[in-house]
Structure formats: C-alpha cells, structure tokens
Amino acid sequence: MTVPAISALPSLPSITSVGNAGGSAGPDAAESFGKLVSNGLNNLQETQANADNLATQAATGDLTDLHDYMIASTQASLTTELTVSVRNKAVDAFNEIMRMQI
C-alpha cells in the first residue's frame, strides 16, 4: 500500500519576492501580498470542500477507502490552524503598530 504525499500547502515564495529589496513597500508588494492571502484562502476553501465531499461519501457508503477521508480531514484541520495562526499574528502586528507613539 502506498500513501500519496501530502501537498495541501503550496510552496511559498521567498521574502524578497513579496516586497522589493529597497525596504519600502510599494504597490507591487501589496499586490503580491494580496495574491498570497487570496491564494491561501482559496487553498483553504478547496481543502475544506474536498474533506466535506469525502465525509459525505463516507457517510453514504460510497467511499471505498476510509483513510482518504481521514487524510483529507487532517489536511483541512491543519490548513485551518495555519490560517488562524497567520491571522492572529497579523492582528497582533497591527495592534502593536497601533500602540506605537509617533
């Protein structure tokens, strides 16, 4: 029995491709960051939909390999945890910036 590799998370680009090397954020950096967030949320949605589809198949008896559902469910759970962690870090960073005195 062979188990396929888990590939729920796409490879992330390097930091230099998100922002420019000069240190100032421009329109390209914001656009790249926006695309990263959008792609991450789309990936989360696709992973959740796949797990939901396999759960439905398992409940109706149409799923022959139950381990496929367990793998998809775990991928969806980990992807959700990663998304929530990134969101929490972004909120913490925003709050820290708002506390800075000018």
pLDDT at 29: 74
DSSP state of 100: -
Q: What percent of the chain has pLDDT over 70?
A: 73
pLDDT at 4: 57
pLDDT at 101: 87
For the cut 50, the answer to whether the pLDDT of residue 15 exceeds it is no
On whether the CB atoms of residues 75 and 48 are closer than 8 A, the answer is no
Give me the chain's average pLDDT, please: 81
68/22 Cα distance (integer angstroms): 46
Tokens of 94: 């925003």
Per-residue b/e over 28-62, b at no fewer than 16 CB within 10 Å?
eeeebeeebeeebeebbeebbebbeebeeebeeee
Q: Where are the domains of the chain?
A: 27-99
Could you read off the pLDDT of 65-95 as tens digits, one per residue? 899 999 999 999 999 999 999 999 999 999 9
Which residues are CB-contacts of 40 (< 8 A; sequence separation ≥ 6)? Answer: 83, 86
